[in-house]
Amino acid sequence: MMKRTPLYERHVKLGAKIVPFAGWQMPLSYSGVTDEHQSVRTAAGLFDISHMGRFELSGKGAEAYLERLTPGPVHKMQRGSAQYSMLLNKTGGILDDIYLYKRGVDKFFVIVNAANLDKDFKWMTSHLPPGVDLKDVSGETALLALQGPKSWEVLVQIIPFGKTEIALRNFIETELVPARGAKGIIARTGYTGEKGYELVIPAEAAETVWNALLEAGKAERIKPVGLGARDTLRLEMGYPLYGHDMDEKTTPIEADLERFIDFEKDFIGKEALVRQREKGSQRKLIGFELLTGGVPREGHTIYSDQKIIGKVASGNFSPSLRKGIGMGYVDPRYSEIGSEVLIDIRGNATPAIIVKRPFYKKKK
């Protein structure tokens, strides 16, 4: 049985194209992927991402537990800050990429990927020390993302008067005016590369808050946005997608996520990563742009000098750049920026150039 978010009926009424995704019936698009994509880049877009998992973690020793469980510098987090991180297995493979929110001393909120919810909960529970409590609150909450350069102008209309703009990778816990005082977590985080916010709210308030945001954003030409544009937006930024650009057989070093690792501390998977750093990895995630027409897709072969050097992990047509872009894993010897490679797109050897990510850079 496919799951539905608290906003499923709303999406149907808005004319969304519904598709299966990670066991959920989710909106792919409403007005069209390109139209929704441009709305987020130029104004504001509203996403229902309630399919993602949400855990509450609390109890004496919760911070020390996360410090050991994740490779990032949890000790650097202040109350009200958010941190991108990962769960790693003993061989350094990525079980999931996650977001941590520090709500207080030994009190955290964790967001995980939809397809990994059960696996993550089991993994985290299996390492729980006595006195630390992990609770799955996915069913009693909803998760919305309000993204785009005009997102603050929209958000400010549904939170109590006098709130100052939230700093990047920080969050507030506040009442939501339309939901008659229901409290939510509002974080300055996102997956689009634009200014934006993610809102954790009670499930029963989801439709009220969703409708209020769409109403508040009318002057800013806000649009509801589906998973199609969420994918093109994240790809333009070079953000990896779990299950495509990384999995349990991929390490953060191979996935170009080493900057999120604190090698000064102990964590699960550290020994394997230290060895890989010393020896060098067998493959590396690169970004590429097509030099001619075509759309690269996951699984397409990457060649150099008639030799197979890797495979495409994520690919699509970029609405902002008007060309095919992608990411893939290649032999590190062929990963230099500026190098030309060939992508096999349906039997056509399509020329591409390796570029620095993000692909899309906002004009100053």
Domain ranges of the chain: 8-49+139-236, 54-134, 282-355
- Cα 149 from Cα 97, distance rounded (Å): 26
| Annotated binding-site positions for substrate | 198
Mean pLDDT by 10 residues, the chain (364 residues): 97 98 98 98 98 98 98 98 98 98 98 98 98 98 98 96 90 93 95 98 98 98 98 98 98 98 98 97 98 98 96 98 98 97 97 98 80
What is 54-134's CATH number?
A: 3.30.70.1400
In DSSP terms, which residues pair with 330 in a beta bridge? 284, 310
CATH architecture observed for domain 8-49+139-236: 2-Layer Sandwich (3.30)
Q: Where are the alpha helices (DSSP H) in 203-281?
A: 206-216, 227-236, 270-279
Neighbouring CB atoms inside 10 A of 276's CB total 18
DSSP 8-state secondary structure symbol assigned to residue 195 = S
Residue 301, C-beta contacts closer than 8 angstroms, at least 6 positions apart: 308, 310, 311, 312, 343, 344
Q: Report the side by side order of strands in the sheet with 223-225.
A: 171-175, 183-187, 196-202, 141-147, 45-48, 223-225
Half-sphere exposure of 200 (CA within 13 A, CB side): 24
> Is residue 196 within 8 Å of 147, Cβ to Cβ?
yes
The torsion of the CA quartet 109, 115, 117, 118, rounded to 10 degrees, works out to: -170
What is the pLDDT, as a whole number, of residue 364? 64
pLDDT for 212-240, tens place per residue? 999 999 999 999 999 999 999 999 999 99
Angle at 90 between CA 85 and CA 95, to 5 degrees: 45
Long-range contacts of 72-81 (CB under 8 A, 24+ apart): 72/100, 72/260, 72/261, 72/262, 73/262, 73/265, 74/100, 75/265, 77/102, 78/102, 79/103, 79/104, 79/105, 80/170, 80/171, 80/172, 81/169, 81/170, 81/171
- Cα 208 from Cα 97, distance rounded (Å): 30
Please report which helix (H) or strand (E) contains residue 30, including its range.
Answer: none
**Crossing angle (nearest 10°) for helices 33-42 and 227-236:** 60
Annotation: CATH topology of 282-355:
Elongation Factor Tu (Ef-tu); domain 3 (2.40.30)
Give just the sign of the alpha carbon dihedral 18, 46, 173, 69. Answer: positive
Tokens describing residue 63: 């911070």
Instruction: Say if residue 74 is exposed, middle or buried (CB neighbours under 10 Å; 0-12, 13-18, 19+).
Output: buried
In DSSP terms, which residues pair with 350 in a beta bridge? 343
Angle at 145 between CA 177 and CA 40, to 5 degrees: 115
| Annotated binding-site positions | 198
